[in-house]
């Protein structure tokens, strides 16, 4: 099966206006598309939450690890991407790209399990202030659930190999990181340093340029690094990281009507998906 073609198919289904209030038909279509994709590989769990008297859904698929003994009882690796969008944008990079990779990782780990159980979550209401992930984290805390690691897939498909195309949220970072926007970034809390290094190295070995940034104090000194669904997990004390093409610091189409599939680099996106699979297997 051609991974690049599969990702492209998902992108064309998901990249459409899907604001939960102003583009309800698109939002519902994408929600059902994710549900149908997940349901090929197991029973889909629905986590519902209420915002302004409207019910929203986080969609969850749990996949078992390779056969382990009972005593191993490993905590899952949670991989998430938000599926809602902003008004007026088809959101191909933000975040159809993340959801497309999420759906392919579901297929990959269902067919060939990893060492750890894998939990895949499609979050709603990220654009409204990380509401879906915050509600879900609250449930995890209530149930005292442990996680091996949380990965937030946040915009994975935009790449520009011209110098001067990469910006940074703090001027000092320009001294340590490339000015060319052709790498995948891994941004984690301090607990994830070892995982950040391992994933970065596996991305590079698999042929994708990658950089990592560990951030102290849950990223509060550089608020831009908190702008995705990993942030509530940081605040709750979980090991979590964002996997990203760096969003508005690179992609000029961010939150615009021009954020379309044809602006994405599908070879780059495919490399990110392959690197993630290999990295997750090595954790």
Tens digit of each residue's pLDDT (9 = 90 or more) over 22-55:
999 999 999 999 999 999 999 999 999 999 999 9
Residue 73 pLDDT: 82
Q: What are phi and psi of 105, to 5 degrees?
A: -65, -35
pLDDT at 102: 98
Length of the chain as a residue count: 283
Indicate if the pLDDT at residue 69 is higher than 60.
no
Q: What is the chain's mean pLDDT, rounded?
A: 96
10 Å CB burial of residue 46 (0-12, 13-18, 19+) is exposed
Average pLDDT over residues 181-203: 98
Q: Tens of pLDDT along 213-248?
A: 999 999 998 999 999 999 999 999 999 999 999 999
- State the average pLDDT over residues 163-188: 96
Q: Among residues 242, 9, 10, 263, which one has the least CA distance to residue 159?
A: 263
Considering only residues 70 and 23, tell me which one the structure prediction assigns the higher pLDDT.
Answer: 23
pLDDT recorded at residue 243:
98
CATH fold of 3-282: Aminopeptidase (3.40.630)
Choice among 52-56, 66-70, 83-87, 107-111 with the minimum mean pLDDT: 66-70
């Amino acid at each position: 099966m051609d991974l690049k073609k599969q990702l492209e198919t998902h992108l064309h289904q998901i990249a459409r206006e899907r604001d939960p209030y102003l583009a309800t038909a698109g939002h519902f279509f994408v929600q059902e598309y994710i549900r149908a994709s997940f349901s090929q590989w197991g029973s889909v769990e629905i986590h519902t939450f209420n915002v302004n008297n409207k019910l929203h859904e986080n969609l969850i698929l749990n996949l078992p690890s390779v056969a382990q003994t009972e005593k191993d009882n490993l905590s899952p690796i949670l991989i998430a991407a938000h599926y809602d969008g902003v008004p007026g944008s088809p959101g191909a990079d933000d975040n159809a790209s993340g959801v497309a990779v999420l759906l392919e990782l579901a297929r990959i780990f269902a067919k060939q399990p990893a060492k750890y159980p894998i939990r895949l979550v499609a979050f709603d209401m990220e654009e409204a202030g990380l509401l879906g992930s915050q509600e879900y984290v609250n449930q995890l805390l209530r149930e005292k659930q442990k996680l091996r690691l949380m990965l937030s897939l946040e915009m994975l498909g935009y790449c520009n190999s011209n110098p001067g195309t990469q910006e940074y949220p703090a001027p000092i970072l320009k001294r340590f990181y490339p000015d060319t926007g052709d790498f995948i970034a891994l941004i984690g809390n301090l607990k994830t340093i070892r995982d950040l290094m391992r994933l970065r190295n596996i991305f590079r070995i698999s042929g994708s340029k990658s950089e990592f940034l560990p951030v102290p104090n849950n990223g509060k000194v550089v608020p831009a690094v908190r702008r995705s669904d990993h942030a509530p997990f940081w605040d709750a004390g979980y090991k979590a990281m964002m996997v990203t093409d760096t969003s508005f610091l690179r992609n000029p189409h961010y939150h615009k009507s021009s954020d379309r599939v044809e602006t994405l680099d599908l070879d780059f996106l495919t490399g990110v998906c392959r690197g993630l699979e290999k990295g997750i297997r090595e954790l």
